[in-house]
Structure 1
Amino acid sequence: MRLLSTAVAISALALIMNAQAWASDAGHTSEAMEHAGKAQAHGEMGHAKESLEHAKDSLAHAKAARDDHAASHKHMDEAIKHLEEAIKHAEMGHGQESAKHSEEAMKHMRQSGH
């Protein structure tokens, strides 16, 4: 029951944190953030396979956002580095470490300004 409550709370937090990005219709950045949030949540629950899938989706969108918005290239590059680490750790079954990198990726995506 506690795991379910945690999952619901994390999902709600991800939605709230991403509301601003969705409101501005930021395209690839909002998609990248959504998938990074899901990767983080699954990683924290120990679901490495699901975390891996969402981290890979987030990485693809982050790279597209970086290419679309050269001005915020620096933050998207950092987000991409963290997503690549999230993928690496999820592939090794390290859900918690993968979640940390997904969280850092979201911070840089937010700082990218779009």
Structure 2
Amino acid sequence: MIAEPIYETLCPHPNEVDRKRIEKTLAERERYKYVAPSVLPDVDGYLVRSPCCSRTIDPDGGEIDIARIEFQEGGFWRLYQKDDANQRWRAHSEYLSLPTLLARLIADPKREFWR
């Protein structure tokens, strides 16, 4: 019998099932529906990237960071937004479930993520 690595037992994220679920949910977003974002595995979570639509962040229209989604040890989810000026992630909000976090991300009423 092969033992599972301790890290995978303690932190089940990232995993392919949730990565695909996030990817599918992002297709329902309200902004920039004409680009295809990517969801990549990241430490304890997922990184959402997308081609830059408005050219405000990347004048060349390259791929930009949209959000970082991280599963926390206490069993909740944290959503991060990119601080483009300082090139670092900033904690935005916390959620008890991934679907609730994704609902906030796809609605983005203040254009904090899909910019």
Larger Rg: 2
> TM class by shorter-chain length?
0.3 to 0.5
- Would you tell me which structure has more strand in proportion to its own residues? 2
- Would you tell me which structure has more helix in proportion to its own residues? 1
TM-score, normalising length from structure 1? 0.35
